[in-house]
Amino acid sequence: QVQLEQFGAEVKKPGASVKVSCQTSGYTFTAYNIHWVRQAPGQGLEWMGWIDAGNGYRRYSQKFQGRVTITRDTSANTVYMELDSLRSEDTAVYYCAREVNAFDYWGQGTLVTVSS
């Protein structure tokens, strides 16, 4: 079955970077796009960007352009999202989601807390 696994939680200080992983299984990794969506506490969903797992093409939300990098490792069927220059407003659950016309499978989310 299709699975997107996200592990653990992260606590970071303002100004630091965080790299979150999304390990996939149960389908052909290179056939789908993977997106990153975050959700601040008590708030709605916010799209950050995506990567074509097949060719590596990436596109980011204008809001995060220059601060976010999405990469993939085809040998490990894993996608990564790195967010730089963290600030308190970046405290959120970060989800990866598979996409074909819509976000059909989601990871469990990784809580990233930014606090001094």
User: What residues make contact with other proteins under the rule CB under 8 A?
Assistant: 35, 37, 44-47, 50, 59, 61-63, 95, 97, 101-109
Closest CB 103 distance from other proteins, rounded Å: 6
Nearest CB to other proteins, comparing residues 18 and 93: 93
CB of 108 to other proteins, least distance (A): 6
3-state secondary structure of 88: helix
Residue 57 Cα distances to 4, 47, 96, 99, angstroms: 20, 17, 16, 14
Nearer to other proteins, 105 or 116 (CB): 105
Q: Nearest distance from residue 65's CB to other proteins, in Å? A: 11
The neighbour count for residue 71, using CB atoms within 10 Å, is 13
Q: What is the CA radius of gyration of the chain?
A: 13
